[in-house]
Amino acid sequence: MSQAMDQKHVQDEHDDDLLQLVTFRIGEEEFGVDILAVQEIIRLMQITMVPRAPAFIEGVINLRGKVIPVINMRTRFSMAAVTHDANTRIVVMEFGQKIVGFLVDAVSEVLRIPANTVEDAPPVVAGIGSEYIKGVGKLHDRLLILLDLNNLLGDMNLDTL
């Protein structure tokens, strides 16, 4: 019996080593965030501009009666603007007590990757400073940039929107 319990304990420890991520594209790069931070993924909807908001704030949306700020991730990472298309999505995330939307080019998939495939971020990846990157996941044929939401959103004053 104890051998079975030991095997289950080893299995539980092994399960803890998997990261479950929602992945999305911004330009040619693929990014991931912890699935627990993602509330929902919605199609592009009417975004109302907010005067005097930082440049990377696309505006706000009304999602079921809640006003949610939407961050244009291309602008946030100093990438060239593109026309929104049928693949454009808003990834609604919960950060602390706040809800915020990320405007992304496309949502890719939900992935489970082993934590040991993630390396520390080099100083700059895809033109994005390492302070916004938790790590880089090495998948079979591609790299996945894992975003650090605390650093990415922590310096924003979302209360003023």
Q: In the chain, where are the structural domains located? A: 2-160
Residue 1: predicted pLDDT: 47
Q: Look at 119 and 157; give whichever has higher pLDDT.
A: 119
Beta strand ranges found along the chain (DSSP E): 18-26, 29-34, 38-43, 57-63, 66-72, 89-95, 98-104, 106-114, 118-119, 124-125, 128-129, 133-138, 143-147
Q: Look at 80 and 124; give whichever has higher pLDDT.
A: 80
pTM of the predicted structure, to 2 decimals: 0.82
Location of structure tokens 């104890």: 2
| Per-residue pLDDT at 149 exceeds 60 | yes
In 3-state terms the chain splits into helix, strand, coil percentages (rounded to 5) of 25, 45, 30
Q: Look at 142 and 121; give whichever has higher pLDDT.
A: 142
The CATH homologous superfamily of the domain defined by 2-160:
CheA-289, Domain 4 (2.40.50.180)
